[in-house]
Structure 1
Amino acid sequence: MPIVLGLVLHESHRTVYEEAARTLSGVRLEWIGYQHEDEIRPRVEDLFGRLHVDGLMLGQVPFARVRDVIPADVSVTVTRSAGLDLSVALFRAAARGWRATPVSIDTFDPETVDEVVRALEIERDQVSCLPYDPAQTVDEIVDFHRTFTANTGAEYAISVRTAVTARLTETVPVLNAHPGSSTIRANLHELALRVQSQKADASRFAAGVFMVVNQDVQSDVDRARIGLMNLLVNAPEFSDAWIENRDRRGVVAFAHRALFEQATDNWVSMSILGRAQQTLGIRVAAGFGVGASARTCVQLAEWAAARAEQESAPAAYLVEDGGVIIGPMGGSDSGTPLNYTYREHGGNFEELARRAGLSAATLSRLAALERSLQGRPISPSDLASSLGITDPSGRRLIRKLGESGLVTEEGSAQLHRKGRPTRLYRLGIGAAAAEDERDDQRA
């Protein structure tokens, strides 16, 4: 799938952004334009509701309005006007025959203003700067410019805010210092490279070592290891991992870093450790290693597991070949992105899973995903991403669900100009479970 970047911008700046994006290829851009600031939040929410977005680029004002709705896994770049943009605005003033000072400037950082003023040898005490503050209203910024102009006789003002420019133009000439195409291009390329780097990092090979702790009798150790092996093999979050015995006390798993990252809720918690203690009555220490080779990954994972053994409760550690160490990750279930709640659906949920050829836990994760989608269709690749499995596994899962009548095809989406459209599917697990429950009641 191509990288998907969302661009949130005022419609008056679209031409500049399109020029900046002209040199970028291999990326799908989603344009979120607005005329009024009140339109920003619902349109960004709609974007996240429709698509899996890898990165988001937006200005300071839009960011202040939507920062709480941006998913944690989305890379964000907040565009800010640079010193070059302020210098261009001052040169435009000179080209029109206006005096360089006095002048009022909003939104720029004082440090940027000081740097430009020194470089252009402008009197700093004749320049008034109002730094960006999310709590500032448009009225307050307009009053700042009008007051300064009235007190000093300034011939013009410099603003980054489109709404401020529109309000001032009738009384005070305004030069807009919004980021130019070069600034936007640099930010856009940096965001795309950062997302690409994160995707490459997620695809790195990794190993996990799970060790049974404090089993005194050898037969108990063997029984605990077999139970741990079965628990990992049947856990949906490890469905795409290669799992095998490591020694008499442990199990080793091999997978991409992204799988382990999702299983630990971004290296915060490790729910399967808690499940091992609750269902098997054993304490497990886990270690994850990320390195340049399989041997290095296993060595780092063994070191991390040995460190986790020193904790008094079930725990996990991550060790990377670059020296990064994260831990301890606890065994709480609270960090699991999709809870395994199939018991809440009633006994017929296990029968529904059996007919579909899936485990009840996997079907429950799909039911939780269906609830989060709130009726929206999903592509096989997005489904795979949500479950932490590969795209081929996602397509196989869709086929299984289709054979059981648990998904319906809902058209297609064209992700990019070339290539075939991607089919979209609507999950129907909740409806099927409810129908089975009604059949039981009628019987």
Structure 2
Amino acid sequence: MSRLAGRRSAVDIVIGVVTHVTHHELFHDAARTLSGVDLEWVSYDHEDEIRDKVAEFLSTTRLDGFLAGPVPYTASQELLPPGLPVGVIRSSALDLTLALYRAQERGWGRTPVSIDTFPAEAVEAVATALDLDQDQIDCLPYAPSQSVDEIVAFHRDAFARFGERSYVISVRAAVRGQLSGQIPIMSGMPVPATIRTELHELALRIESDRASAQRFAAGVFLISDAPDEERARIALMNHLHNTPEFAGAWIENRGRRGVVVFAHKALFERITRNWVAVPALAEAAAALGARISAGFGVGVSARNCVLLAEQAAARAELAVEPCAYLFEDSGVVIGPMGPVGAALRYSYRSHGDDVERLAKYVGLSATTVSRLAALDQELQGRTLSPGELAGHLGITDQSGRRLIRTLDAGGLVSVEGTAQHHPKGRPTRLYRLRIAQALEAQPWSSPAATSSS
């Protein structure tokens, strides 16, 4: 484990990178242009070492983000702290194209070939663009349940069928190690540009999360079941003023039985343990002898924050037990948050309970998956292009294309044909979101989803 930069400033972003020892130089090359970021490295020789190495690493290192390929991510995803921004590097169509050209330079030809780990759609797109005979291409897309022996057997079978002119393109170092000297083999590892793009995108996402933590937010605490609500409200305000966690907040009255708290979003994240529990509810209730409900709002203005917080507090009051809710202007709802963290639920407006686990399974934020779930409901089965997806989410077209690739790798979209908007333009691939189906199927709960490959 080592650091990219020798001196770390207080504002540097720290990203943990997990890579096979043979790929270390490749990742270092990709990170050369990154400034303001410290990289902490975890290197492994064998895939069965990954989980233990990452566990030790996480116990001793403070991280702002985590970057890995599909194999180390699958092996360590259950160890990662909730909410930690994650980037998963997946070989792209560009990486496959370059591997095919390198094979041609060696005189191997472009086909017949067997390919592992690449998404089937990427292989199809490259084969179509290069006018390759797809009957001469065998593809084994990445799956968390795959073992190295299964991938090696796949390539051996393909070699036996295609004959001695065949060769292998593999992303897996262990597979290349087993087949080296027996079958011609070419690395399909991402080129530095692919890794660099993922690194930059992860760093930007971390910076965005930091900026989000500085957004204005409000909390509304409501008193009920008190004989003298006004007296209880004054006591509640004094109690919050004397609570160390609220030292950086502005606190004032909100009606006869309410108190409003203004602060950065980061302060509320701390006092709620990242939106898991609100110990202040039990502390205030014990001090005042009254029931306390709370609502938090994050919006574009102070007024918007307070309105959202009041709506969240009103919803919390309807619950049987004292609790709190968070409403964000993006539509995200988190709650109920009890005094000790029971019954947490993530949703986008009215969506279900398993968004957080699905987000971790595919390597996206819960907010993104929540918004996609709502969009899936809104589209009602209609297809959309990567550009249209970007428009719905308010992100760039390039980010939309990358998001589609991530969703495709996680089985959250299906390819549904193409559309050509301009006579002289290239056809645009169309996709159908499968978020609702994935939430119902719960792919993360199966043994295949949690085993390392």
1:268 shift after superposition:
3.9
Give the fraction of aligned pairs with identical amino acids, expressed as a percent: 52
Partner Cα distance (2:134, 2:332) in 1: 48
| C-alpha separation in 1, matches of 2:293 and 2:337 | 10
Per-residue deviation at 1:325?
4.7
Segments of structure 2 that go 5 or more residues without pairing to the other structure are 1-9, 345-453
Inter-partner Cα distance in structure 2 for 1:325 and 1:35: 41
Equivalent residue, structure 2, for 1:74: 84
> Is the CA contact (8 Å cut-off) linking 2:296 and 2:326 kept in structure 1?
yes
For 2:220 and 2:144, locate their aligned partners in 1 and report how far apart those are by CA, in whole Å: 47
Candidates 179, 200, 203, aligned match of 1:192: 203
Select 2:341's aligned residue among 330, 334, 339.
334
Distance 1:136 1:331, change over 3 A: closer
Partner SS, residue 273 of structure 2: coil
CA distance in 2, matches of 1:87, 1:51: 37
Query: Which residue of structure 2 lines up, in the alignment, with residue 228 of structure 1?
Result: 236
2:263 matched residue in structure 1: 255
Q: Which residue of 1 aligns with 2:254?
A: 246
SS in 2 for 1:197: helix
- Which residue number corresponds to residue 62 of structure 1? 72
Q: Aligned partner of 1:273: which letter? A: L
- In the alignment of these two chains, the number of paired residues is 333
TM-score, normalised with respect to structure 1: 0.70
C-alpha separation in 1, matches of 2:146 and 2:121: 20
Q: For the structure 1 residues 183 and 267, does the alpha-carbon distance in structure 2 shift closer, same or farther, using more than 3 Å as the test? A: same
User: Contact conserved, 2:212 with 2:265, CA < 8 A, in 1?
Assistant: yes
Report the CA distance between 1:279 and its aligned residue. Answer: 4.6
Q: Is the 8 A contact 1:59 1:80 kept in 2?
A: yes
Secondary structure at the residue paired with 1:118? helix
Q: Deviations over 1:208-256 (max 9, x none)?
A: 11121244x5xx1133213322432344443432323334322121211
1:297 corresponds to 2:308 = no
Per-residue CA shift, 1:303-356, capped at 9, x if unaligned? 433443444443333333x3425254243413599xxxxxxxxxxxxxxxxxxx
Q: 2:295 — aligned with what?
A: 287
Contact 1:5–1:56 (8 Å) recurs in 2: yes
SS at match of 1:74: coil
Higher alpha-carbon Rg: 1
Matched, 1:91 2:82: no
Q: Are 1:29 and 2:29 an aligned pair?
A: no
Distance 2:101 2:261 in 1: 62
User: TM-score scaled by structure 2?
Assistant: 0.68
- Over aligned residue pairs, what C-alpha RMSD do you find? 2.3
Contact persistence 1:300–1:319 (CA under 8 A): yes
Query: Contact 2:272 / 2:278 at 8 angstroms: preserved in 1?
Result: yes
Q: Is the 8 A contact 1:138 1:163 kept in 2?
A: yes
In structure 1, distance between residues paired with 2:108 and 2:211: 51
Q: Which residue of 2 aligns with 1:170?
A: 181
Residue 6, structure 1, aligned to residue 8, structure 2: no
Give distance in 1, aligned partners of 2:237 and 2:183. Answer: 73
SS of residue paired to 1:333: coil
Is the alpha carbon distance of 1:112 and 1:256 closer, same or farther for their aligned partners in structure 2, counting shifts above 3 Å?
same
Equivalence map 1:268-283=2 (5 Å): 268-283=276-291
Q: Is the 8 A contact 1:214 1:283 kept in 2?
A: yes
Distance 1:202 1:268 in 2: 16
The counterpart of 1:157, out of the listed 155, 168, 184, is 168
Deviation at 1:129, TM superposition (A): 1.0
The residue type paired with residue 289 of structure 2 is: G
Distance in 1 between the 2:101 and 2:68 partners? 26
- Aligned equivalents of 1:278 and 1:20: distance in 2? 55
Q: Distance in 2 between matches of 1:211 and 1:334?
A: 19
1:174–1:190: structure 2 CA closer, same or farther, 3 Å change rule?
same
Letter in 1 for 2:266: A
After superposition, give the CA deviation of every residue in 1:157-195 in whole Å (9 maximum; x if it has no partner).
111101111111111010000011111011111100011
**CA distance in structure 2 between the aligned counterparts of 1:281 and 1:188, rounded to whole angstroms:** 51
Higher RCO (CA-CA < 8 Å; seq separation 6+)? 2
CA contact (8 A) 2:297 2:305 kept: yes
Show structure 1 runs of 5+ residues with no match.
338-443
CA distance in structure 2 between the aligned counterparts of 1:325 and 1:101, rounded to whole angstroms? 48
2:17–2:67 CA contact under 8 A, matched in 1: yes
State the alpha-carbon separation in 2 of the partners of residues 47 and 243 from structure 1: 40
Partner Cα distance (1:51, 1:80) in 2: 25
| Equivalent in the alignment of 2:391 | none
